[in-house]
Structure formats: C-alpha cells, structure tokens
Chain A
Amino acid sequence: MKQNLIKLLLLTILVSLTGCLGDDVDIENNRRLLIKGKITDTQGNALPNISVITSSFGDALGETKTDAVGNFRLVSLDEQFDPLDIFINVNDFYNPNINEDYGSRRYLSPEHTNRVLYELGTIVLGKIASLNISLNNIAGDENTLSYEVKFTPSVCELPLNVLNPPDNCNLAESSSGNLTSSSENQIVPIYSVQGSNVIFEYSLNGGSLQTIEIPLTNEDNNYVFEY
C-alpha cells in the first residue's frame, strides 16, 4: 500500500515536471506578420529554394522557401510576449545551414514589438568558403607575433527591430592571438564566404601594424604565414 502511494507520488511529480518542460508558446490572437524579400548570391543571381523561417524561442511561427527568382513572401504568426527572430537558410541557433553550400542569416530581435511588416530587401548569401591560416614559427628567429583576423562570417547575425540596423556582416567577426618565440605552429580556421576578403593584421615584436588582405576565391583556401 505504502509502495503504491510512493509510486503514485513519483508519477504525479513526473507528470508535473513534464508539464513544466512542455512548449509554452503563446500565439497572439488576431494577428499575422508579413516577411518578404529576395535572396541572391554574391554575383546577384537569384537563389531558389532557400528556407525562410520566423521563430520565437525555437517555435517556428512561419516557414517558406524562395521561389524560382529568389523572392519570398511569408505570412507568419506572432508570439504574444517573446521577440521574433527570422532565420534564412538555417532552422535555429544550433543546426547547420539547410543548404550547406551557402551561408545563412539570423535576424534577432532584442524584445517583442507590435510590428507586422518586415521588408528585408535583397539578402546576399555567399557560397561557403573556409580558410586555414598556418602560423609557422621559424626556429632561431626569436620573434613574437600579435595578430587579428577579421572576416565575414558564414553565419551572419543581424539585429532586428532596432534603429538603423546594419544590412550585412562584412568583416563582422574576428579572431586574435599572441604567439611567442616558443609557440608551436598553429592553424587558425576561418569559415567565411567566397568572394570576400579576410584581413590579417599583425605586429612582429610589438612593431607597427601590418595588414594582409587574403581573397577567398575557392571553397577551400590556405595561407601560410611565417614569423
């Protein structure tokens, strides 16, 4: 009898916890949003069949794909309290790009608004490109290296529902480091888009800042820097 009571109690707690973990999306009554725009590649060619998703904390409120000429027009639900995010060529924060050949965009709102129209204009998605920068320490030179790599990310995050938002992610991300004469050789991996340039800024032994522009012309690129 006592065991049964304990089992019943545990089951009740389990059911309650399941309820807490459940989806708590609150869709706004009597409201629809319109999200529209066009998606091209870096050459201006229309990109068909690219996924466009509106989301609020992981709940997809609307979903469509670009048509044959790259246009999309999506009617979405709205969340009552949570901010709206718009994902281009990606499901959410954690998944890889749906079309793995191209980059993606995430438009992220800081807070909920009553805005019903989102005209995103022409969105340029570049083809994915990777760059491995090899930083090789030449034995006997005893140099130190400070560097910063600036690049256009393949996954571009832009703010939504803010004043004067940027319309691209050009050179929006960076990676930096300091290497000594005793450092091992290193490879700095960069995930960017074809057609963009990677800016490699460095300073040897605390000297003046030098800049190297590395164009990403291929899907896989390599650059070797020796110090």
Chain B
Amino acid sequence: MKTTTMFLNIKTLFVALFISSIMFAQQTNSEEKEAENPGHKIGNILIGAYFPIAFGNNFVNNGMDLKGGAKIVLKVNTYNTFFIGPYLSFFNSSVTDKALLGNYENTANILIGGTAGYDFYINNFDLSLGAGIGYSVYANRGLGDSFNDTGTAIWFSPEASYRLNTYLGVFVAPEIRHDFMDIDVPKELEDNFNGVNYFTISFGLRINLGTGYKNQ
C-alpha cells in the first residue's frame, strides 16, 4: 500500500513537471513571438497649444502683442522612424505700435508646411528631432478691410513626449522659427520687415498611430 502511494506521488510529480515544462515552453514562445512582432509604428498626430515669443529687431517683436494659438502635426514614419508629414499652426496678435507697422488692429498668423525628422524611443518616452518649411500668412485686419503679409517659414523643433498608453501620450516641443517675409519696403525698413524670429513652445496630446507604441 505504501509502495503504491509513493508510485502515485512520483507519477503526479512527473505529470506536474510535464505540464509546467509545457507552460514555460509556451510562455517563452509567446515572449519570443512578441519580440519578433513588436507591432507597427505608423506615426503620430500632435495636437496642442502653441505659444510664440518673437525676438530680435523685427516688426512683430517691435510692434505686436502676441497671443496664443494651436498647432496640429501629422508625422508619418517612412524608413524606420524617420518621419515626414504636414504641419499647421496659427496664433493671434494685436498691433501695439501703429507708427511702426501701419494703421491696422490685429493679425492672425497661419503657417502651413511640411515637417521631417527622426523619432527615438526610450522606455515610455519618445524623443524626436524635426525641421520644416512652410508658407506663413499674416492675415491682417484694420480699416474695415483685410490684407496679407506673406513669407516662407523654416523651423527646427525637438520634441519630448510621454506615453500614457499604446495610443495616447502628452508632448512638449520648443521650436526655433524664422519667417522670411516678402514685404515690399524701402531699404531703411528692410531690417524690420524682412524677417521675424520666434521661439515657440507647444504642448498637448500625442496620438500614436499603430500598435507598436506599447508601454514598457
């Protein structure tokens, strides 16, 4: 009777070991599969507030009071995590020195362009370096009429974002931007009207596209 019981215990042990080994084997396979297939990182969408600060000797810094705005960027990964995509930002401002700018009240700047750069992934943080070029329109209003000042904008922007889950994160992005303006002015005013420098800060939501942005 004792021998029979011992035999049964050993048998049970072997069965348990066998099941455990299968379980471990399956678990290892699952992890391997996950490592082999990390999901797709298609890109992301940034939607956030946009706060420009003008600096240097230019008509915006000398004669305007800048308000906030917003920006939206779509970044589509191409090769690895090199991204390209469309970029849109806008902000409002009011004219504070009409003798320097002309007799109008306010302006809304709209920048439409394209951006390109590279994304890095460190645990739950996504870092990115990007640059872009676009068409900058200052839609001015005054005297019951509207008129535009236009130019070409270039910018460089690092960005840091934190993943809240696979599809959603928050981002902050400082930006250095220069607008090359097309305004026809006498030589004496060229320094003031030929270009505008901005340091901008934007922050908001980052929507990740694809299943590859898993939390670590």
Q: Are A and B interaction partners?
A: yes
A residues near B, CB below 8 A? 22-23, 25-34, 59-64, 73-77, 116-117
Give the complex CA separation of A31 and B101 in angstroms: 10
Query: Known interface pairs A75-B189, A116-B186, A117-B186. Does A30 touch B148 (Cβ–Cβ under 8 Å)?
Result: yes
Query: Known interface pairs A30-B182, A32-B193. Does A62 touch B99 (Cβ–Cβ under 8 Å)?
Result: yes
B contact patch SS: mixed
Give the complex CA separation of A17 and B183 in angstroms: 36
B residues near A, CB below 8 A? 98-104, 140, 142-150, 181-186, 188-189, 193
Query: Known interface pairs A62-B102, A63-B99, A77-B103. Does A27 touch B147 (Cβ–Cβ under 8 Å)?
Result: yes
Q: Would B149 and A29 count as touching, CB distance under 8 A?
A: yes
Q: Which residues of B contact A32 (CB under 8 A)?
A: 101-102, 183-185, 189, 193
Residue of A nearest to B137 (CB): A29
Residue of A nearest to B183 (CB): A30
Residue of A nearest to B144 (CB): A23
Residue of A nearest to B150 (CB): A30
Q: Which residues of B contact A73 (CB under 8 A)?
A: 99
Residue of A nearest to B182 (CB): A30
Q: Which residues of A contact B184 (CB under 8 A)?
A: 30-32, 116
Query: Known interface pairs A23-B144, A31-B183. Does A117 touch B188 (Cβ–Cβ under 8 Å)?
Result: yes
Give the complex CA separation of A185 and B186 in angstroms: 57
Residue of A nearest to B140 (CB): A27
Q: Would A25 and B144 count as touching, CB distance under 8 A?
A: yes
Give the complex CA separation of A155 and B194 in angstroms: 38
Give the complex CA separation of A12 and B38 in angstroms: 66
Q: Which residues of B contact A63 (CB under 8 A)?
A: 98-99, 103
Q: Would B143 and A76 count as touching, CB distance under 8 A?
A: no
Residue of A nearest to B181 (CB): A30
Q: Would A27 and B186 count as touching, CB distance under 8 A?
A: no
Per a CB cutoff under 8 Å, which of A22, A23, A77, A116 touches B102?
Answer: A77
Give the complex CA separation of A69 and B99 in angstroms: 17
Q: Would A29 and B147 count as touching, CB distance under 8 A?
A: yes
Q: Would A74 and B183 count as touching, CB distance under 8 A?
A: no
Residue of A nearest to B186 (CB): A117
Q: Would B149 and A75 count as touching, CB distance under 8 A?
A: no
